[in-house]
Structure 1
């Protein structure tokens, strides 16, 4: 896998994940943040890579319990994708939608994408979890202060905006406004919406912000060129995609397809997992026990597939099943299909499901 470009080593500027450096022996995680350098300045990382930065995702996430009150899994599951990228998932027994949030670091600060479905910090300690990650990261990098930006893939999506209140009084924090017009102005594409593109500069790691309404009128997608990951929220994820405006949805997928062809993303990470590993099968709403979930990550080819079938359902009130997602256009999220589509194997999932 491509590594970061090499450059002159000095105590304050080191190649991120460079296996050629003498403190990265073979067989261990490539890291330069915990090196016992007697530095007087914070470590700066090089985020310019020849390819996507290496990282690892969980094969299986915590999946809840039949009796939610007996669940003993962490309220927030944390997976470290790489040194500067973290994936957090809300416990499905705290909220059945079990949304994902993403924490990214750069040389000047951090970005939290989305904030989960529960406001109560005692039930869902998102801020406490994020603060602990930031503290450890800052200590390793020689930083006493790490400014945090909190941005949402949709301000109207209650499964991703409820945790915002936990950060309302947090110092050194910026919460991107959730009101549509103010949010557009914040990113600088008020006049060009929904064709606009903005940016969040984390310090040599610039996250691109793409207007992608369709499931929500204020929908956004974030792109990290360092890891080459698209964070798509509710626009595209392995689950029940509830289309709010099918014309906007098709337009946004067209934009995303063009964007992906220019950027070559490695993964698409959405806001939820609702599909089973059995093709075309998904968990019903309010389920708190999901032992056979599909993996979170999707591939760029899924953009083409979603666009193809979004065009097919446009103007129709229907549910359309695909192996890795389901499109709900103008129908209840509890809708069931009686006609199994071609190309999707009809396999009974294991029990209990």
Structure 2
């Protein structure tokens, strides 16, 4: 589509306009606004007198990029010199952060989302010590830079957890205690339900976190933890699933709840577009069915973080298969553990999964 130098700002963000679909919030006459881009105009200039307001209504997922490699640790953790928190900017209003695997072997992910009226941090990592794991310092730096680009003095922050029971996702929460203009979703299950308005409906129903034009859905998904929730971002079409479904060893706490939660997510993605599932960890290797053991701090052959929505159906099929049984079940993109140790091993390789030995990382 040829660029039209006659730019009408009234059309920007108007979903009924062909111009808005192609250039949702930018002037098509400018070189940094290619077709399909969103919100690139707020990056220039960096010093503004008025706040930039974005339109988060999308006909499809907002563009972004995760085409990179995560840092993968070292054989000797003490010698690792990678950042304690790796930050990747998916797009202007979406950030993916990961804890260094040499700081904590689970290397959990956290997600920072922005709207016109607030920011949301999903999960807080596995380490409370701010010197070893400077999550708050990193988040504060991103918030400051975002405010500068958007012409704002500050932005309120909400901190929420996919599970308050999951130690790998909640230890960094203490770093945000007492932080100004910050709302922390309470960890106790009863208080968390009340915060989202789910007292009477749990685990049915849904909650919401309004960031100002970008409304994040909250879906109860117990199963690996009693208080598990997933978050849906209709702007990027992401579904943040925490420990419920991720490329790794899924330790089922209650198999009946686990199946019901997967059914809930299956029904949800049939009604709402979802581009990717983004979980709390990566433990699988790039070869099918192989995974790193616990406490490994060197993981050079990891599978990618993002999972496609069809894996919900695959997980549901096999969750039903092992329901009521104490067993381990290996699939190419995840491994289910029901009633057995996460260190359990199996001599029976599943049919249909190629048995490929990964390269030695030495």
Conserved? CA contact 2:47–2:148, under 8 Å = no
Residue correspondence of structure 1 range 119-198 to structure 2 within 5 A: 119-198=128-207
Distance 2:287 2:24 in 1: 36
The answer to whether structure 1 residue 303 and structure 2 residue 312 are counterparts is yes
Instruction: State which of 317, 329, 335 in structure 2 corresponds to 1:326.
Output: 335
Conserved? CA contact 1:241–1:328, under 8 Å = yes
The answer to whether structure 1 residue 91 and structure 2 residue 113 are counterparts is no
- 1:22 matched residue in structure 2: 29
- 2:258 matched residue in structure 1: 249
Change (3 A) 1:149 1:280: same
Question: Once the two structures are superposed, what CA deviation does each residue of 1:61-80 show, in whole Å capped at 9, x if it has no partner?
Answer: 10000000000000000000
Distance 2:209 2:240 in 1: 14
TM-score relative to the length of structure 2: 0.92
Question: Once the two structures are superposed, what CA deviation does each residue of 1:280-321 show, in whole Å capped at 9, x if it has no partner?
Answer: 000000000000000000000000000000000100000000
Conserved? CA contact 2:25–2:55, under 8 Å = no
SS in 1 for 2:95: strand
Residue correspondence of structure 1 range 1-353 to structure 2 within 5 A: 8-9=8-9, 18=25, 21-25=28-32, 31-36=40-45, 40-352=49-361
SS in 1 for 2:110: strand
Conserved? CA contact 1:64–1:290, under 8 Å = yes
Conserved? CA contact 2:71–2:82, under 8 Å = yes
Alignment root-mean-square deviation, CA: 1.9
SS in 1 for 2:42: coil
- Return the offset for 1:41: 2.3
- Return the offset for 1:264: 1.8
Gaps of 5+ in 2: 1-6, 15-19
Change (3 A) 1:34 1:325: same
- Return the offset for 1:27: 6.2
- Return the offset for 1:140: 0.4
Distance 1:82 1:323 in 2: 29
- 2:4 matched residue in structure 1: none
Distance 2:299 2:305 in 1: 13
SS in 1 for 2:217: strand
Distance 2:136 2:182 in 1: 12
Change (3 A) 1:203 1:8: farther
Change (3 A) 1:26 1:42: closer
TM-score relative to the length of structure 1: 0.94
Farther-moved stretch of structure 1 (100-109 vs 34-43):
34-43
Distance 1:265 1:339 in 2: 34
Conserved? CA contact 1:13–1:43, under 8 Å = no
- 1:3 matched residue in structure 2: none
Distance 1:326 1:245 in 2: 16
Conserved? CA contact 1:257–1:303, under 8 Å = yes
Distance 1:237 1:170 in 2: 31
Distance 1:349 1:36 in 2: 48
Aligned residues: 346
- Return the offset for 1:59: 3.4
